[in-house]
Amino acid sequence: MNTFFKKNQFFAWFLLLSFLPKTGSCQDVYAPWRQQWLKLADELKPALTETIETPERMVNIITDQNAFQGWKTVPASSLTDLYATSFKTQKTVTLDFGKHITGYFSFNVATLKGTPDAPLKFKLTFGEVPSEIETPYDPYKGDLSRAWLQDEYITVMDIPSLVTISRRMAFRYVKIELLGSSQYFDFKIENLRCRAVSSVKTKPSALQPNAHDMIKKIDSVGLNTLKECMQTVYEDGPKRDRRLWIGDLYLESLANSYSFKNHDLTKRCQYLLAGLSDKNGYLVGTVFETPEPHPQAGQHLLDYSFLYNVTLKEYLTATNDYQTANSLWPVAKVQAEIAKSYILPNGLMDFEKAKKEWWLFFDWKEELDKSTALQGLTIYTLKQTYELAKLLKKEHELKELPELIRKMSQAARTNLYDSKLGLFTSGSKKQVSYASQIWMVLANVTSPAEAKLALRNITSHKEAVIPGAPYLYHFFISALIESGLKTEAKEALINYWGGMVKKGADTFWEVYDPNDAYLSPYHFFPINSYCHAWSCTPVYFIRKYPDIFQ
The contact set with ligand RAM (CB under 6 A) reads: 236, 241, 245, 247-248, 361, 510, 534
Q: Cβ closer to ligand RAM: 476 or 534?
A: 534
Taking the C-alpha atoms of residue 155 and residue 176, their distance in angstroms, rounded to an integer, is 13
Q: Is 175 helix (H, G, I), strand (E, B) or coil?
A: strand
Residue 268: CB minimum distance to ligand RAM, A: 18
- At 542, the amino acid letter reads I
Handedness of CA 496, 499, 501, 503 (dihedral sign): negative
| CA dist 288 → 30, 32, 173, 242 (Å) | 20, 23, 27, 9
Residue 530: CB minimum distance to ligand RAM, A: 12
On whether the CB atoms of residues 542 and 215 are closer than 8 A, the answer is yes
Q: Cβ closer to ligand RAM: 128 or 248?
A: 248
On whether the CB atoms of residues 349 and 342 are closer than 8 A, the answer is yes
Residue 359: CB minimum distance to ligand RAM, A: 8
Taking the C-alpha atoms of residue 44 and residue 151, their distance in angstroms, rounded to an integer, is 33
Taking the C-alpha atoms of residue 256 and residue 258, their distance in angstroms, rounded to an integer, is 5
Residue 285: CB minimum distance to ligand RAM, A: 7
Q: Cβ closer to ligand RAM: 87 or 475?
A: 475
Give which of 422, 429, 426, 419 is closest to 455, Cα–Cα. 422
DSSP letter for each residue of 241-260: T-SEEHHHHHHHHHHHHTTT
Taking the C-alpha atoms of residue 284 and residue 298, their distance in angstroms, rounded to an integer, is 7
Residue 44: CB minimum distance to ligand RAM, A: 22
Give which of 47, 9, 53 is closest to 31, Cα–Cα. 9
Q: Is 225 helix (H, G, I), strand (E, B) or coil?
A: helix
Residue 474: CB minimum distance to ligand RAM, A: 12
Residue 248: CB minimum distance to ligand RAM, A: 5
Residue 243: CB minimum distance to ligand RAM, A: 9
Q: In Å, how far from its chain's centre is CA 4?
A: 33
On whether the CB atoms of residues 438 and 476 are closer than 8 A, the answer is yes
Taking the C-alpha atoms of residue 493 and residue 431, their distance in angstroms, rounded to an integer, is 25
Residue 308: CB minimum distance to ligand RAM, A: 13
Residue 532: CB minimum distance to ligand RAM, A: 6
Taking the C-alpha atoms of residue 439 and residue 378, their distance in angstroms, rounded to an integer, is 9
Q: Cβ closer to ligand RAM: 181 or 266?
A: 266
In SS3 terms, 264-293 reads as HHHHHHHHHHHHCCCCCCCCCCEEECCCCC
Q: Cβ closer to ligand RAM: 240 or 333?
A: 240
Q: Cβ closer to ligand RAM: 170 or 401?
A: 170
Q: Cβ closer to ligand RAM: 336 or 511?
A: 511
Taking the C-alpha atoms of residue 232 and residue 102, their distance in angstroms, rounded to an integer, is 13
In SS3 terms, 101-141 reads as EEEEEEEEEEEEEECCCCCEEEEEEEECCHHHHHCCCCCCC
Q: Cβ closer to ligand RAM: 269 or 494?
A: 269
- At 67, the amino acid letter reads A
Residue 327: CB minimum distance to ligand RAM, A: 25
Residue 96: CB minimum distance to ligand RAM, A: 26
Q: Cβ closer to ligand RAM: 304 or 386?
A: 304
Residue 241: CB minimum distance to ligand RAM, A: 5
Q: Among all residues, whose Cβ is closest to ligand RAM?
A: 236
Q: Cβ closer to ligand RAM: 181 or 256?
A: 256
Taking the C-alpha atoms of residue 548 and residue 411, their distance in angstroms, rounded to an integer, is 33
| CA dist 377 → 14, 303, 371, 479 (Å) | 29, 7, 10, 12
Taking the C-alpha atoms of residue 243 and residue 221, their distance in angstroms, rounded to an integer, is 21
Q: Cβ closer to ligand RAM: 373 or 454?
A: 373
Q: Cβ closer to ligand RAM: 175 or 239?
A: 239
Q: Cβ closer to ligand RAM: 128 or 241?
A: 241
